[in-house]
Structure formats: C-alpha cells, structure tokens
Amino acid sequence: MYPTPINTSLVLKTEGFTNLVDALEYAAKGDTGFNFYDHRGELNCVLSYSELRDQARVLAMRLLGLGCKRGDRVGIVASTDPMFHRFFFACQYAGLIPLALPAEMQLGAHKAYVEQTRRMLQSCGAVIAVAPNSHSSCLEEIAEGLDLLMFGTEEDFISLPAKQVELNAPDKEDIAYLQYTSGSTRFPRGVEIDHAAVLNNAREISAHGLKLTNADRFVSWLPFYHDMGLIGFILLPLITQLSADYLSPRTFAMRPRLWLKLISNNGGTISSSPTFGYALCARRLRASDCDHYDLSSWRAACVGAEQINPSPLKAFADALAPCGFNEKAFVACYGMAECVLAISFAPLDLGLSIDYVDQDMMTKTGQAVPIDPSADNVAAYADCGVLLPGFEYSIRNDQNDEVGPRQCGEIYLKGPSVMSGYFQDEESTRAVLDKDGWLDTGDIGYHVNNHIFITARSKDVIIIKGRNIWPYDMEVVTQYVEGVRPGGVAAFSVTGPHSEEIAVMVVETRLRDSQLRDRLIQQVTALVHEHFGINVIIDLVKTGSLPRTTSGKLSRFQSRQAFIDRRQWPALQLAETTDIYRKIA
C-alpha cells in the first residue's frame, strides 16, 4: 500500500464548481486523495478521490433508501477515519446536510460528552447518526430517546440495500454542512454554510492565502469536527485536487514527533496548528531527532484558532532549524467558522511579523501605540495580514462608530464567505448578522495599513486544545450555583506558562468567609467540568467589580486584562498553576 502522490495528473482547478459534488467528480479523475496513518505513524488506509466518489454514491443511495428527505440532517462522529469522508460526501450526493460530531472525550467526562452530542443532534433535528466502532456504545446512549430513522456504525449502514434512485446534485444556495461552533454547551449553534460560501472561501485560500500549486501536499492531526480540520484539511485538499495525510489528534497528543516524521517522509508543504501544538511538539523534541527529519519542504506552517503567542513558535523554529525548518514558513491566520474558515493570511515567506505596543495605553484607551520590544509594559500581537479579496471589514467602537488605524474595536465582516445564519436559530442569527450582511465577529482588534491584528476574542469561542466553548454558555451554567448572580460572571481563556490555553472564570461574590468561598469555587469547577469536560481557574472578586462597556455590556476583554494584572499572568509559575489544577480536579 502506497500513499497517493503529490503531483496530480489533473490541471489544478478551483473555478467552475457549483457544489462539493462537482469538486469531487473532478478530483476523482486524478490519482490524489486521503491517507490515514496509525499510532505508530504507519500508513493503514488510502482513500483516493475516485474511490471516495464511488463509495459515497452507493452510500447515498442507502441513506435515501431509509426514507431520508432532501435537507435532512446526518450526525457523523468525526474520528480520524475514512468513514467520516464517505458519509460526509454521501450526504452531498443525497442532498442531506452533514454535521461533524466531536470524537474526543475528555478523561472523566463521559456523561458530558454524551449530553453535548445529544444536544447537537436535537438542536438540528438530525434523522441519522453514525459513529465508528470505537464509539458504538456511546452512540447508543446518545441516541436514546431521539427520534432517529437509524443510528449505528458504518457496517450497519453498509448492510442496507442501495435504493436505485437518481442522485440530484445540490444547488449552490443549499446548505453544504453545519459547523457547530460549540457542542459542549446547553445552547449549541450550528453555523449554516452553503455550497457557494465554502467554494468561494476555498478558491480564495488557494489563490491568495496559500497560493497552492500541484506540488503541494497537506499534513494534519487536527480534529475533523473543528473548522480548521474539516475545511482546511478535507475540503480544501479535495477542492484543489491535492493529497492529504492524517494523524489522529490522540496520536499527536501522545507522539507529536510523528507529525514531523509524516511531513518529512511525504514531502508535506502545508500544515497548521494552534500555538499549543507547536509548543507541545517543541517540548517533546530530543537533540537527536533532527538527524531523522527533513522539513525543508514545509513552506506554510499556518498558525491560528487561538491567540498567537510568538514565544513558543520561536522555540519551535530554533529547535527544528537543523532539520531544515525555515521560520519564514510561519503564516499567521485569522478565521472563524462563521466565515467558513479563513478571513486573512499574513504574507507568505516572511514569517511572523509582531507588533509591539504599549500595554498600559492599550488597557486604558484601546490604542495600539508602538513601543520598544524590551519595555516592561509591552504587549505583542501577530500581524494576520490583509483580508482575502471577498471580504470587507469595519472596526467599530461601543457606539458602533468606525475607528481609525491602531484603535481597538469590534471587528465586523461582510462577504460571500459569511454564513447564512445559525441553523433554526433566528434570535442568535439576528444578534450577530444584520440586514445588510455585516457579521459581528465578537473579536477585538485593530488595523494598520489594512493588516489585521487580533487582540482578544471578546464574544467568540474559548478554544482549549481544539475544543470550542462559548463564554456565554459557561457563564450561564455557572449562574445555577447558589451565590452566583446573573451577569456576575466573565469567562475567557489565557495563555499558561507552557503556552497552553487555560479557561478562567471571574465570579463576583459577596461571600467573605473563606470556607464558603472555597465551597463556591469547588461547586463552580465541578459544574464546569461536568458540562464542558475542562478544568477552569476560578477568580473570585467583589460584587460590582467586573468591567462593562459604556452601553452596560460585560467586557470580557477588560475582565481578562484585569485578571492578568491581578495575577501577574502569565508570569505565574508552573508550580502554582499545577497546584491550582490539583485543587480543582
């Protein structure tokens, strides 16, 4: 068994596709495809685009044979397995709408996983759910009480008869898939992405963001239920007829050096990670490893999905320079599921460009005033480049007035890659998408010469090791604890001592007794772990001390900055952080 090749026999094409079916039909004329590697880094499955097309078409007929109607939703547990690809594209052929369900379960959070996955299926009215064999028992728990036509493993569906029906390709306005920005909540939101939007974003990424050619090859360990994994490393390679190689997130977490081995062995050119992935990999490296890797082919090491911390990226580049890794390969990106995937890319071949600004001025006025990098009160923000051509942007203050260069504000976006809305959730859609098509991203940032700098995720998701969690939902859940008042909680994440993202909740309380305060912390941390499967640092403050905007809204941006100032974060020592987690585990 050999992996699919780098150079496709086709002329690279991204124009002229009406839907994802068109894209797969064209890619299937070549010899490229997807390659799956096991926990030892050995190839265990190859799925060419031609095989995917044939298998997806037959599977689509089986799904339609169950009585599915056009537009019905299908939940697919998105493990790193070709099963996911087959069902995802079977849905495209059958006119069904797939949604990727999380595959990874946090240790000790089985109940939370079952509940969050059930909520996702319930929120969209899914009629089918499928999982790999590893999740079959979980799926039985998830499906209990749901009104599903069928649920089971791939083998269960393969045993069904294939109904001989004509497969009608989707229209460009049809929903291609639902991307859940947060499944681990009481309030899951499914982003509607139509075929036109995903194809437009892929074209712009290919032509302007990454400037892809037939010589490119993708390598990824990212989860398929995350937009960077689904769009960046399944749909983008397919739409551009390029090959992709996969490790599972679990394999990467246990053996991160296999990521480097795969890039080295297969001549990978495009691979992405949040900052924590590069940091983890650098920490696990041994001096002798550089004798085994050749990373000179890696031309775009994209960084995104969370705040970009330059320090661990510098450590990664320094450690792997002897392997041929060029630090100029780093590409800072800005994106979100509500815009398919990518919004902006930093220029290629230049590496990270960091803007050093006066942190005190940033906190007090929101102005990004340049400062000497060696100053004590410095803040560093990565240049995420100019927006892809289809986007317009507007950065606005609390009064909704547009602000000038180097003034922080909320980022608004408009363009053909913006979502059509949250599925069957008009209230949430109206809250972020106005009648003129402007999307309130919830992100805080500023611009310099049309280059975007992200300073905080104001209302956007908290991302902990690739898991997406809405701050609002954490705050609402916490308010069920006695002694926590509505509106008296702010949730956000900070970068820890090892460059990992850590969830924090600042909770207002009138309690003064130390035992009662400790009990409150224990109750909140236990509730958060039950519902979201993550640990969290709880910071108790007096009532009325959470910062708010001039319009009275809670400011998570200012709450985060105040926490950093109070706790001298991230200067907090690892020993203290470990002790905090020991107390709340």
pLDDT tens, position by position, 148-205: 999 999 999 999 988 788 898 899 999 999 998 644 344 668 999 999 999 999 999 9
pLDDT at 578: 33
Report the run of H or E that residue 277 belongs to, with start and end: helix 275-284
For the chain, the 3-state helix, strand and coil shares in percent, each to the nearest 5, are 35, 25, 40
Task: Give the least confident one: 61-75, 254-268, 445-459.
Answer: 445-459
Reported as a pLDDT band with limits 50, 70 and 90, residue 21 is very high
Radius of gyration of the chain (CA): 23
The verdict on 406 and 493 lying in the same domain is: no
Q: Which two tokens stand for residue 234?
A: 């399944």
Are the beta carbons of 284 and 314 closer than 8 angstroms?
no
Q: What is the mean pLDDT of the chain?
A: 88
Euclidean distance between CA atoms 58 and 431, whole angstroms: 41
Reported as a pLDDT band with limits 50, 70 and 90, residue 584 is very low
The verdict on 434 and 532 lying in the same domain is: no
**What residues contact residue 313 under an 8 Å CB cut-off, 6+ apart?**
275, 278, 303, 327, 330, 352
Percentage of the chain exceeding pLDDT 90 = 63
Last residue of a domain, one of 408, 424, 457: 457
Reported as a pLDDT band with limits 50, 70 and 90, residue 359 is confident
Whether 289 is in a domain gets the answer no
Predicted confidence (pLDDT) at residue 366 exceeds the cutoff of 90: no
The verdict on 439 and 476 lying in the same domain is: no
Predicted confidence (pLDDT) at residue 47 exceeds the cutoff of 80: yes
Euclidean distance between CA atoms 85 and 98, whole angstroms: 11
φ/ψ of residue 496, rounded to 5: -80, -175
Are the beta carbons of 428 and 363 closer than 8 angstroms?
no
User: Over the stretch 458-499, which tens digit does the pLDDT of each residue have?
Assistant: 555 677 765 657 676 678 778 778 878 767 898 888 877 666
Last residue of a domain, one of 403, 433, 457: 457
Euclidean distance between CA atoms 400 and 378, whole angstroms: 28
- In one letter, which amino acid is 50? S
**What residues contact residue 319 under an 8 Å CB cut-off, 6+ apart?**
282, 285, 290
Task: Give the least confident one: 247-256, 423-432, 483-492.
Answer: 483-492
> Is pLDDT larger for residue 111 or for residue 236?
236
pLDDT at 92: 98
The verdict on 25 and 174 lying in the same domain is: yes
Euclidean distance between CA atoms 83 and 267, whole angstroms: 26
DSSP 24-61: HHHHTTSS-EEEEE-TTS-EEEEEEHHHHHHHHHHHHH
Coil vs helix vs strand at 247: coil
Whether 580 is in a domain gets the answer yes
pLDDT at 186: 47
Write the DSSP symbol of residue 113.
H
pLDDT at 486: 66
Last residue of a domain, one of 457, 484, 517: 457
Whether 439 is in a domain gets the answer yes
Query: What CATH number is given to the structural domain containing 84?
Result: 3.40.50.12780
Task: Map tokens 């001989």 to a residue.
Answer: 164
Q: Which two tokens stand for residue 417?
A: 């890659």
Query: What CATH number is given to the structural domain containing 434?
Result: 2.30.38.10
User: Over the stretch 521-579, which tens digit does the pLDDT of each residue have?
Assistant: 999 998 888 777 788 999 999 888 888 653 355 777 788 888 888 877 554 433 333 33
Whether 39 is in a domain gets the answer yes
Whether 294 is in a domain gets the answer no
The verdict on 450 and 566 lying in the same domain is: no
Task: Give the least confident one: 108-117, 151-160, 269-278, 313-322.
Answer: 108-117
The verdict on 257 and 370 lying in the same domain is: no
Q: Which two tokens stand for residue 514?
A: 């130390």
Whether 315 is in a domain gets the answer no
User: Over the stretch 308-355, which tens digit does the pLDDT of each residue have?
Assistant: 778 889 989 999 999 999 999 999 999 999 999 999 999 999 999 999
Candidates 306, 301, 307; CA nearest to 281 is 301
Query: What CATH number is given to the structural domain containing 546?
Result: 3.30.300.30
The verdict on 448 and 528 lying in the same domain is: no
The verdict on 497 and 436 lying in the same domain is: no
Task: Give the least confident one: 144-153, 307-316, 505-514.
Answer: 307-316
Write the DSSP symbol of residue 176.
E
Q: Which two tokens stand for residue 327?
A: 């630090």
Domain carrying residue 159: 20-272
Predicted confidence (pLDDT) at residue 583 exceeds the cutoff of 60: no
pLDDT at 251: 94
pTM of the shown model: 0.82
Euclidean distance between CA atoms 126 and 147, whole angstroms: 8
- In one letter, which amino acid is 102? P
| φ/ψ bin of 509: left (φ > 0), alpha (ψ from -120 to 50), beta (otherwise) | beta
Are the beta carbons of 269 and 297 closer than 8 angstroms?
yes
Burial class (CB in 10 A: 0-12, 13-18, 19+), 151: buried
Coil vs helix vs strand at 165: coil
Whether 512 is in a domain gets the answer yes
Query: Is omega for the bond preceding 373 within 30 degrees of 0, making it cis?
Result: no
Candidates 89, 61, 94, 74; CA nearest to 168 is 94
Domain count, the chain: 3
The verdict on 356 and 477 lying in the same domain is: no
The verdict on 448 and 475 lying in the same domain is: no
Candidates 98, 96, 90, 87; CA nearest to 120 is 98
Are the beta carbons of 509 and 520 closer than 8 angstroms?
yes
The verdict on 115 and 45 lying in the same domain is: yes
The verdict on 254 and 134 lying in the same domain is: yes
Whether 566 is in a domain gets the answer yes
